[in-house]
Amino acid sequence: MTTDVFIYGVVGPEAQVQEGLLGVGDSPVRVILAVGDPIAAVVSDVSTERPPGRKADLLAYGRVLDSLALEGPVAPVRFGSVMDDDLAVIEDLLAPNAEWFGALLADLKGRVQFNLRATYEESTVLAEVVRGDPEIAHLRELTRDLPPDSAYGERVRLGELVARALETKRDADSEMIMDVVSAHVVDVQARPGSGVDHVLKVAVLVDQAHQDDFEHILEGLAEVVHERIHLSLVGPLAPYDFVGDV
């Protein structure tokens, strides 16, 4: 069986992987380091007959990188990146980009990513919308008990007004949440979200030294807004959203 080298991320030369850590295809994870290089790559072997792409592969990729992030700075490399062998990793990835990766790892030192998502309690917020706009309340009452294929114009108008009102609420609530969060994070990257209940979806970069304070602040905010907004926090993670196009 022939193999390629699957690349998880770039780390400092002092980095070590946890004993027994397995990656894609349950292959042992190892570090590639050229003598004198200021950076190293975390890799594992992968069969050329079964290119990575399955859900289990993506989970393994994340598991390796998140474990590395708890030990020191790591710059994740795009999922699915493979090279022919260790020499190719050194000559084509590490050596030409040593200065850039070194600066990036310095910026990421002592920092981890969290993913923050805020969603509405849909029934509560829609009730707010109805109470806050007499025209919406009137159209809702008018169309509530009519057959679905009747009062088409009124239903379209109602949908437009509700969507506009929700967008206004979403903007205000997102700003409120970020006003609380921004003072406790290093950087923020917006992530796409959709649906009536969507409020906010962001990745935040947090100093590990202030992680407890950050989580405490969010717990307090969640308690204040829980009747109308649900907050969920995932992390700590490797800084996937803060390494650019690697």
* 3-state SS class at 202: strand
Residues 117 and 237 in one domain: yes
Residues 15 and 102 in one domain: yes
Residues 121 and 89 in one domain: no
Q: What is the pLDDT of residues 33-60, one digit of tens each?
A: 877 778 999 999 988 777 777 899 999 9
Mark which of 58, 91, 109 sits at the end of a domain. Answer: 109
Mark which of 109, 128, 148 sits at the end of a domain. Answer: 109
Residues 176 and 238 in one domain: yes
Mark which of 57, 83, 109 sits at the end of a domain. Answer: 109
> Across the chain, what does the average pLDDT equal?
90
Domain containing residue 13? 3-109
- Cα distances from 132 to residues 2, 15, 31, 52, 142, in angstroms, run 66, 56, 59, 51, 17
The one-letter amino acid code at 40 reads: A
Q: What is the pLDDT of residues 156-204, one digit of tens each?
A: 888 899 889 999 999 999 999 999 999 899 999 998 888 889 999 999 9
Of 34 and 215, the one with more pLDDT? 215
Residues 104 and 124 in one domain: no
Q: What residues are paired with 175 via a beta bridge?
A: none
Residues 195 and 82 in one domain: no
Q: What is the mean pLDDT of residues 78-92?
A: 92
Tokens of residue 74, six digits: 């790591």
Residues 105 and 9 in one domain: yes
* 3-state SS class at 197: coil
pLDDT of residue 1: 61
pLDDT of residue 37: 78
Q: What is the pLDDT of residues 105-150, one digit of tens each?
A: 999 999 999 999 999 998 899 889 888 888 888 888 887 777 777 7
Residues 119 and 199 in one domain: yes
